[in-house]
């Protein structure tokens, strides 16, 4: 038995030698929606095949633990005197026991099995991934394991291969946004109504022009067909603003619902022929959809600060209003906020649609 175990360990090590692992992951991933990843395993040996190979994720700690850590400090004497009046001040070190946060969740669980890998060949396996929550998922390494030849022992070789996925918030379909979408689009259409009828120039008639745009007065004066060219009606600007509330202001389900609503509105209006920009409080303005979704994927409520919460909230609100464009620029704002109704200046109502986030799972909509 000891000889068999010894032979099993040697053969397992030989089977795992020369294997090259490659993990391919999709670039854009949404929570609650399945995506397909691909794992490629290559045998770089010329003559020896590999048998019964499994690709497994690295083990991770899921619970917080205590750890001793050295920190720089200053040794002072005497201790009871105020700072700056001590006789002696020396650089020192102290050891403290701190809480170590658990690692980020892994990308996948389970295993991928390759029963036989010929020499010099490469095999691929598709892996269906589905993430229940938004956030950052990462793997620092993967394991290549085998129980060949006798299944007495499992030998695993770690492969240092860092992979990270930013999982976007789940987005709702237009049918699920039926309660708020018609109201938003109605206010938006009312705001931009008439902006596409501004006369830009009068030019010669082209075969692709519509007859209803013919300017008969200019045609009679010039003797040739003239048409009116207007400013583009589809040149509509829209800004989606996520006013990140402080921690504890709304419940966690209501906060996640707000993040999902912001992602859903961004995805829906980006598919339309409109110029859409995005604002997250404290992070500035952007025009890239996936950049906005990546911010929403890892966003957390603003941390509370003792002795100045109101001023901090007012400063954040001022920053958000500064990023919002006034009505003179022709841009319409959709603002998701948990601020009280009275804290919003009345000058913003004519160019903005506010979604007030309440304690309920469904946000409270208001436009008045």
pLDDT in tens, 195-249: 445 555 688 888 767 777 788 888 888 888 888 765 544 456 788 888 888 888 8
Question: What is the Cα–Cα distance from 240 to 272, expressed in whole angstroms?
Answer: 14
For 293, the 3-state DSSP assignment is helix
Evaluate whether the domain defined by 2-60+108-168 bears CATH number 3.40.50.10140: no
Inter-residue contact 93 to 73 (CB < 8 Å) = yes
Whether the pLDDT of residue 314 is over 50: the answer is no
Task: Please choose, from the candidates 170, 57, 40, 159, the residue with its C-alpha nearest in 3D space to the C-alpha of residue 108.
Answer: 57
Q: How many CB atoms lie within 10 A of CB 100?
A: 13
User: Confidence band (pLDDT; 50, 70, 90) for 330?
Assistant: low
State which of 36-50, 71-85, 202-216 shows the largest mean pLDDT: 36-50
What's the mean pLDDT in 49-71?
78
Residue 90 confidence (pLDDT):
84
The dihedrals phi and psi of 314, each to the nearest 5 degrees, come to -65, -35
Per-domain boundaries in the chain: 2-60+108-168, 65-100, 181-191+234-366, 198-230
User: Confidence band (pLDDT; 50, 70, 90) for 291?
Assistant: very high
Residue 168 confidence (pLDDT):
92
Question: What is the Cα–Cα distance from 1 to 19, expressed in whole angstroms?
Answer: 29
pLDDT in tens, 240-273: 888 888 888 888 888 888 899 889 888 888 887 6
- Give the whole-number percent of the chain exceeding pLDDT 90: 10
User: Confidence band (pLDDT; 50, 70, 90) for 294?
Assistant: very high
Residue 313 confidence (pLDDT):
45
Question: What is the Cα–Cα distance from 61 to 305, expressed in whole angstroms?
Answer: 31
Mention every residue, 6+ apart, whose C-beta is less than 8 A from residue 37.
Answer: 23, 24, 25, 26, 107, 108, 126, 127, 128, 129
User: Confidence band (pLDDT; 50, 70, 90) for 53?
Assistant: very high
**Two domains, one topology: 2-60+108-168 and 181-191+234-366:** no
Inter-residue contact 269 to 250 (CB < 8 Å) = no
Whether the pLDDT of residue 327 is over 70: the answer is no
Whether the pLDDT of residue 17 is over 80: the answer is yes
Min mean pLDDT across 39-48, 72-81, 288-297, 347-356 is at 347-356
Question: What residue has token string 């854009």?
Answer: 28
User: Confidence band (pLDDT; 50, 70, 90) for 64?
Assistant: low
As a whole number, the mean pLDDT across the chain is 77
Asked whether the bond before 149 is cis by omega within 30 degrees of 0, the reply is yes
Inter-residue contact 134 to 168 (CB < 8 Å) = yes
What's the mean pLDDT in 179-203?
62
The residue that leads in pLDDT, 152 or 317, is: 152
Residue 185 confidence (pLDDT):
67
Spell out a b/e string for 22-38, using b for 16 or more CB atoms within 10 Å of the CB, else e: ebebeeebbbeeebebe
- Angle of the 252-270 helix axis to the 289-298 helix axis, nearest 10: 170
Mention every residue, 6+ apart, whose C-beta is less than 8 A from residue 357.
Answer: 245, 250, 254, 255, 257, 258, 336, 337, 338, 363, 364
The residue that leads in pLDDT, 258 or 367, is: 258
Whether the pLDDT of residue 72 is over 60: the answer is yes
R_g over Cα of the chain: 31
- For domain 181-191+234-366, the CATH architecture is 3-Layer(aba) Sandwich (3.40)
Residue 179 confidence (pLDDT):
66
The residue that leads in pLDDT, 31 or 184, is: 31
Residue 130 confidence (pLDDT):
87
Largest distance between two CA atoms of the chain? 108
The residue that leads in pLDDT, 126 or 67, is: 126
């Amino acid at each position: 038995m000891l000889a068999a175990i010894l032979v099993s360990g040697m053969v397992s090590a030989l089977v795992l030698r020369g294997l090259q692992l490659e993990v391919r992951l999709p670039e854009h991933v949404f929570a609650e929606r399945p995506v397909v990843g691909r794992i490629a395993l290559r045998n770089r040996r010329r003559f020896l095949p590999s048998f019964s190979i499994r690709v497994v994720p690295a083990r991770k700690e899921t619970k917080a633990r205590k750890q001793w850590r050295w920190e720089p400090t200053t040794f002072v004497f005497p201790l009871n005197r105020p700072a700056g009046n001590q006789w002696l001040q020396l650089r020192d070190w102290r050891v403290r026991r701190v809480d170590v946060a658990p690692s980020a969740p892994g990308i996948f669980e389970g295993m991928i099995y390759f029963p036989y890998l010929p020499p010099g060949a490469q095999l691929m396996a598709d892996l269906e991934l589905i993430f229940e929550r938004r956030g950052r998922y990462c793997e620092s390494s993967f394991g290549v394991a085998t129980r060949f030849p006798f299944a007495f022992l499992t030998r695993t070789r770690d492969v240092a291969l860092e992979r990270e996925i930013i999982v976007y918030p789940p987005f709702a379909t237009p049918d699920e946004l039926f309660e708020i979408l018609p109201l938003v689009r109605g206010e938006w259409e009312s705001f931009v109504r008439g902006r596409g009828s501004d006369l830009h120039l009068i030019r010669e008639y082209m075969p692709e022009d519509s007859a209803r745009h013919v300017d008969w007065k200019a045609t009679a004066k010039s003797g040739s067909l003239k048409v009116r060219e207007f400013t583009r009606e589809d040149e509509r600007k829209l800004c989606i603003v996520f006013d990140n509330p402080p921690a504890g202001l709304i419940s966690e389900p209501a906060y996640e619902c707000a993040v999902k609503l912001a992602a859903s509105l961004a995805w829906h209006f980006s598919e339309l022929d409109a110029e859409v920009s995005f604002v997250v409080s404290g992070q500035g303005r952007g025009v890239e959809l996936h950049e906005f979704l990546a911010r929403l994927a890892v966003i957390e409520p603003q941390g509370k600060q003792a002795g100045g919460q109101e001023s901090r909230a007012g400063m954040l609100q001022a920053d958000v209003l500064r990023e919002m464009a006034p009505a003179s620029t022709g841009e319409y704002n959709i603002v998701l906020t948990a601020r009280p109704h009275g804290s919003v200046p009345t000058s913003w109502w004519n160019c903005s649609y506010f979604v007030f986030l309440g304690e309920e799972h469904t946000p409270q909509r208001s436009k008045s």
